[in-house]
Chains A and B, each alone.
Chain A
Amino acid sequence: NAGVTQTPKFQVLKTGQSMTLQCAQDMNHNSMYWYRQDPGMGLRLIYYSASEGTTDKGEVPNGYNVSRLNKREFSLRLESAAPSQTSVYFCASSPRHLGGLWDNSPLHFGNGTRLTVT
C-alpha cells in the first residue's frame, strides 16, 4: 500500500541547474499538490492540480513549473535552481479538491524530497 511516492529523496543542485521532482499516487485521487516546508514557515503551497488536466498556482509558484502527466503523476520542475529553493518538498493528494467547504478530505502526503541548492 504505497500511497504517495516521491523521488528522489535527496538532491543537491548547483545554482542554475534544473531538475524535476516526481510524485505518484496509487489511491485514485483526483487532486494533487506540491508544498514546500521551511523551518519556521510551515507548509506553503506551490502548485496544485484539482483534477487531471488542470494545474493552478498556489502561494509561492515563482521559479517552479508543474505537469499533471496523468491521474497518478504530478511532477514539479525547477528550471534554474536558486539557493532560496533549498527546502523540503512534499507532494500530497486528496480524493477531491479541497476548495469545497462540504469536503473534509484530508491530504495524504509523500515522504518528501530534501533539496539543497548551493
Chain B
Amino acid sequence: AQSVSQHNHHVILSEAASLELGCNYSYGGTVNLFWYVQYPGQHLQLLLKYFSGDPLVKGIKGFEAEFIKSKFSFNLRKPSVQWSDTAEYFCAVNAGGSQGNLIFGKGTKLSVKP
C-alpha cells in the first residue's frame, strides 16, 4: 500500500536556524507531491507542490522542496525560520491510486523559539 513517512514528529528550532523536514513515500510510479501547513487553530493550506519539471520547487514564505526520485523523497527546506513558521507541516502524495486521493504523512510539528 502507498504510504508517506515524515521522519520527525516534533522539531524545535531557534529563529534564523535552517530547517529541513524529511518526507519519504512508497510508490514506484509517477507521483504528484505536496506540502501543506497548518498554523495553530487553522485549516491546512498548500505550501508548495511538485507535478513535473524542475525537481526543486519554490513555495510561499521562502519554503522550497526538492524531489529526489531515486530516494523517493520530497524534503521541505527553509534557510532561516521565523517564529511565525510555528505550525504543523504535512507531506502528501497523489499516486493516482484507486481512491485517487492524497495520502498524508502523520505531520511534523515545528516550534520556533523567538
Q: How many residues of A contact B (CB 8 A)?
A: 29
Is the pair A104, B32 in contact by a Cβ cutoff of 8 Å?
yes
Taking a contact as CB atoms closer than 8 A, the residue among A40, A92, A100, A110 that contacts B100 in the complex is A100
Min Cβ gap A45→B in Å is: 5
Is the pair B99, A106 in contact by a Cβ cutoff of 8 Å?
no
Whether a CB of chain B sits under 8 angstroms from the CB of A48 is yes
The total number of A-B Cβ pairs within 8 Å is: 68
Whether a CB of chain B sits under 8 angstroms from the CB of A42 is yes
Q: How many residues of B contact A (CB 8 A)?
A: 28
Task: Report how far A58 CA is from B102 CA in the complex, Å.
Answer: 11
Task: Report how far A111 CA is from B30 CA in the complex, Å.
Answer: 31
Instruction: Enumerate chain B interface residues (CB-CB to A < 8 A).
Output: 4, 9, 30-32, 34, 36, 42-46, 49-51, 90, 94-97, 99-102, 104-107
Instruction: Enumerate chain A interface residues (CB-CB to B < 8 A).
Output: 4, 33, 35, 40-45, 48, 50, 56, 58-59, 90, 92, 97-101, 103-104, 106-107, 109-112
